[in-house]
Structure 1
Amino acid sequence: MKKLIIAFAATAVLIACDKKESDSGLHITGKVDGLKQGKLYIQHIADSSLVVLDSILIKGDSNFESNIALAEPEMLYLSIDRGVSSSTDNLLPFFAEPGTIHIETSLQEFYAKAKITGSKNNDLYNDYKKIKTRYADEQNKTMSLILLAKKTNNTQKLDSLNQRAEKLTTRNYLDAVNFVVNNAKHEVAPYIALTEIYDVNIKYLDTIQKAMSPEVAKSKYGKQLTTFISERKKLEQPQP
C-alpha cells in the first residue's frame, strides 16, 4: 500500500503546476517517411493529460516543421493521427530542450525507427532506456524459467530463480541510481528519478538530490523531485 501511495505522489508531483516561466525557442524539423496525409501533434503533459502545443497538417510532403515556446528542457511527445487505422504505434516521447531538434521516423515503425538529434538530454534518455531494456530482457527470461519451474514443481530451481529475480531488480535500481547521479548536470536526471525509480530507498533519492547541479535543481523536474522527496519523507515518518 505504501508503494502505491508513493507512486501516486510521484505522479501528482509530475503533473502539478505546469507553468511557462519564459518564452524560449524550440525549433523542430523532421520527416515521417511514408506519411503522405495526416496530422502530427506536438504535446506535453499538463494537469494529468496530454495537451497540444502545436498541430501540423501533412499533405503530400512527409517533412514537417514546428516552432514552440519552451522555457526549459522538458519531455514532449510527437503523436500522429493516421485517420482510420488500427495501429497503436502513434506516440513518440522525446526530451526536448531549447534550440533545434531534428526527428526522423517512419509511418510503419513510428516509435521503433525514430532517430532524434539535437538534444543532449534526449541522448542521455536513450542511453538510460538501453539499460532498462537490458534488465527487462533478463527479467523476462527469468520469469519464463520461474513459470517452468513451477510447472514442473522444481522447488530447488524455483528458489534459485526467485533469488536471481530479486538480485536483478536490485541491480536494475542501483544502475539506474548510478546513471542518474553520473548525469545529474542534465535535466533528464531528475525526470528519470521521478518516473522510473521513485520508490527506491529514500537515501538514494537524497544522493540524487545532492548530486544535481544548481541549474538542474532549479529546473522543472529538479524542483518536482525536491518536492517529491520531501513528501515521501513525511509519508515514511514513523506514526506516533
Structure 2
Amino acid sequence: MKNIITILALSILLYSCSSKKDGNMIVQGQIKGLKKGKLYLQKMKDTVLVSVDSISLLGDNTFRLTDQVDSPVLYYLTFDGNTTDKRILFFGEQGTITINDNVAQFGFNPEINGSKNQKILEQYNMMSRKFQNQRLEFIKKDFDAKREKNQDLITQLEKDYQRLVKRRVLYTTNFALNHADSEVAPYIGLTEMYDASLQMLDTVNKSLTPKIKDSEYGKRFQEYLNNIKANENK
C-alpha cells in the first residue's frame, strides 16, 4: 500500500510539472559557472516588481522561463532575487528570447537574442553610455576648476555642458522618431527625455504608429503627456 501511495504521489507531481502551460514568451539560456541558485523572471506591475516565473538550478546552468506577454515591456532576470547588483534588464516580447551570461559577471554584459525591441534598445544604450561618460568627464573638470577657483574655465565648462545636454536631447528625440514603430520609442520618451521640451515630447507621441500608441508604454506615455499639460494649465 505504501508503494502504491508513493507511486501515485510521484505521478501527480510529474503530471503537475508537465502540465505547466507556457506563455507566448519563452526566456531560455545558460549562466556559465552557476552551480546552485535560483533565477527569477520579473516585471513591473503598476509600481511593484513581481515575479512571473522562477527556476532553481542545481548543477545545471541552463534555464527556461516563460510568461504571457500582452504588450512588449521591460523584464528583469534576477539571480536569487537580487535586483540591485545582479540583474539583467531586457525587452520582453512574444517568441523565444535567448540570454547567455556567466555567474561571475552576471548582468554586466549578457548576450541577448530573439527580441527585436531589445536590439533597438541596445543601439540607443550604446550612444547613451557615451553621453554619460562625457557627463562624468564634465563633472570632474568642473570639480577641478572650482577647486582651483578658475572662474573662466567654470563658465566655459557650463556652456559646453549645456551644449552636451542639447545634443543628448536632440539625439534621443531623433532616435525615438526614427523608431516610432517600436515600443522602445515611448519607453525612451518616458525614461530618457526628461530634459526635452513639451513640444519635443508631443512630436514623438504624434509620430507613434497606432499599434505602438495602443501598447502599454504607448498608453503610459500619453498619460504622462496629459499630466504635464494639465499641470501647465493650472
Structure 2 length normalisation: TM-score?
0.87
Quote the offset at 1:47 in angstroms.
3.0
1:43-65 CA deviation, whole Å, 9 max, x = no partner?
A: 00013121000011101010001
TM-aligned CA distance change 1:82 to 1:233, over 3 Å: closer
Quote the offset at 1:199 in angstroms.
4.8
Q: Partner amino acid for 1:125?
A: L
TM-aligned CA distance change 1:209 to 1:88, over 3 Å: closer
Partner of 2:86: 90
Structure whose CA Rg is larger: 2
Query: Is the contact made by 2:97 and 2:113 (CA closer than 8 Å) also made in structure 1?
Result: yes
Output aligned runs, 1:73-84, within 5 Å: 73-81=72-80
Quote the offset at 1:112 in angstroms.
1.4
**What is the DSSP-based 3-state SS (H/G/I as helix, E as strand, rest coil) of the residue aligned with 1:111?**
coil
In the alignment, the residues of structure 1 paired with residue 190 and residue 44 of structure 2 have an alpha-carbon distance, to the nearest angstrom, of 14
Stretches (4+) displaced over 4 A: none
In the alignment, the residues of structure 2 paired with residue 94 and residue 88 of structure 1 have an alpha-carbon distance, to the nearest angstrom, of 15
Percent identity of equivalent pairs: 34
Partner of 2:210: 214
Q: Does 1:55 align with 2:51?
A: no
Output aligned runs, 1:168-207, within 5 Å: 168-207=164-203
Q: Partner amino acid for 1:191?
A: Y
Q: Partner amino acid for 2:135?
A: Q
In the alignment, the residues of structure 1 paired with residue 48 and residue 211 of structure 2 have an alpha-carbon distance, to the nearest angstrom, of 27
Query: Is the contact made by 2:87 and 2:107 (CA closer than 8 Å) also made in structure 1?
Result: yes
Structure 2: gaps (5+ residues)? 1-21
Quote the offset at 1:82 in angstroms.
8.1
Bigger RCO of structures 1 and 2 (CA < 8 A, at least 6 apart) = 1
Quote the offset at 1:198 in angstroms.
3.9
Output aligned runs, 1:149-164, within 5 Å: 149-164=145-160
- RMSD of the TM alignment (CA)? 1.7
Output aligned runs, 1:15-164, within 5 Å: 25-81=24-80, 89-164=85-160
Q: Partner amino acid for 2:226?
A: S
Structure 1: gaps (5+ residues)? 1-22
In the alignment, the residues of structure 2 paired with residue 132 and residue 113 of structure 1 have an alpha-carbon distance, to the nearest angstrom, of 16
Structure 1 length normalisation: TM-score?
0.85
1:135-164 CA deviation, whole Å, 9 max, x = no partner?
A: 011111111111111111111111001111
